[in-house]
Chain A
């Protein structure tokens, strides 16, 4: 029996900023056509995991694999060609460019192929019809929710297989959070691998298939989103209490 490797794997990765390690030996697997949400308290290393996977932070130890191929040494721009898209935290768009130009930055890897660019644009417009009448508008004149749609749209222009989003709901009104989450589910239904880092844990896990709970730079537990939501330890962790099992983990590690 052959095992089909997952679209994206993070294996025993240690990384951080300066000489401070934020994640230590974290291993996460992101299966195809599944929404996986990484939750955990502030500073647990959730964002660091996706930054290392996107290639914006170097893995000090461990590997990043795409369909079993080791891409640990590849720079961020090469990983885009492997089908990895990343939506950074904070609705990152180029403020003084138009909506169209922002989307066209995402279309860079499609080359000068009008048919492919047209098709990618059409897909984004179907997902976020609100952007359509705003193509010529400058990005910074739009609301936060619309900018988040544009940021996700820019990432989708690369026609990715895997999309990773860092706190997509941050600072959005409940209406926009619902829109964004609903679109992520429809991307998942289309076969895309979705990875999300979320502070709003229960809401995000509610739309997810799988989840990881991170604590002090390590994976504290993992499982189906439903199980995690029902887990008493996890619930307590979200309320700010550290369960006994994880206290032990943090002390043995130090």
Chain B
């Protein structure tokens, strides 16, 4: 078994899961909303990146700037038009609303881009030798950016005034409000940040993986698995679990083929739910 090959491949895959899981975690922590449409935002961001680079023939870095920003604006709209109207309602409401949104986004994406696969093989092509293994530059860059942004957002939450405001809204909204924190604005900004993270993950996926409108549903179930294994609301937990699950998926695919390979990841999720329901690093529910 080419151990180094599989380990590196898995860790690189895990980077994108980490970024997505951190965004979902953030949104859940502050708003108690499980955003089912997050994966589809990632897919549309990836397809838009392909369009920007191939269709409009603009450089890749344009997509890095424009796409996450566009997703943040989209997040603001979702919050203002949908989520704010059902705030305080039972969680099933936001679950259904984002699920409906997810279905709409997939079909809109199929209308725009068609159902086929596309990609950006020309961007960041070539490979490097790492620990005696050939690693594609696009995957290496996407991993580094995904982990970099995940850690940056974690730093933002832990060590800045904005982060403290976000955490206090998450843990004690009333206390935040009587401390002068505009909780509605914090929720709006958090949701926009979360969707921007999904958008950035989409940009990073485009050069490294084949993308299609259904990509979102494949990514989101894995991101949920990451959150469950890492512990709901735990940032370090999500990053560690994402890398672990990336490796398990790649090793599983090597041993049993791509279709069965993903199943190993969900087996681990089931095992964690049975043995340690709050996740490896989760402390109940917190951000």
A, B co-complexed:
yes
B286 at the interface (CB under 8 A from A): yes
- Say whether, besides A94-B172, A96-B286, A112-B161, A88 and B178 are in contact (CB < 8 Å): yes
B283 at the interface (CB under 8 A from A): yes
Please tell me the number of chain A residues within 8 Å of chain B, measured between CB atoms: 29
Closest to B286 in A: A96
A158:B171 contact, CB within 8 angstroms = no
B124 at the interface (CB under 8 A from A): no
B87 at the interface (CB under 8 A from A): no
Closest to B165 in A: A108
B165:A77 contact, CB within 8 angstroms = no
B180:A109 contact, CB within 8 angstroms = yes
A80:B180 contact, CB within 8 angstroms = yes
A77:B181 contact, CB within 8 angstroms = yes
- Say whether, besides A94-B172, A101-B164, A112-B161, A106 and B179 are in contact (CB < 8 Å): yes
Interface string of B161-174 (1 = CB under 8 A from A): 10011011001101
Return chain B residues, CB-CB under 8 Å to A55: 177-178
A117 CB, nearest partner CB in chain B, Å: 10
B167:A97 contact, CB within 8 angstroms = yes
Return chain A residues, CB-CB under 8 Å to B177: 55-56, 75-77
Interface on chain B toward A: helix, strand, loop, or mixed SS?
A: helix
Interface string of A91-108 (1 = CB under 8 A from B): 011101100010011101
CA distance A112 to B181 in the complex (A): 14
* A54: contacting residue among B164, B178, B283, CB under 8 A: B178
Interface string of B147-185 (1 = CB under 8 A from A): 000000000000001001101100110111111111100
CA distance A105 to B175 in the complex (A): 9
CA distance A207 to B262 in the complex (A): 68
A-B contacts, 9 of them at CB < 8 A, read A55-B178, A76-B177, A77-B177, A77-B181, A88-B178, A105-B165, A105-B179, A108-B161, A111-B161
Q: Mark B residues whose CB is within 8 Å of A.
A: 161, 164-165, 167-168, 171-172, 174-183, 283, 286
Given known contacts A78-B180, A94-B171, A108-B181, what 17 new A-B pairs fall within 8 Å (CB)? A56-B174, A77-B177, A77-B183, A78-B182, A80-B179, A88-B175, A94-B167, A94-B168, A96-B286, A105-B181, A108-B165, A108-B180, A109-B180, A154-B175, A154-B179, A158-B179, A158-B180
Nearest 10 Cβ contacts at the A-B interface: A80-B180, A109-B180, A76-B177, A105-B168, A77-B182, A86-B178, A94-B171, A105-B179, A77-B180, A94-B172
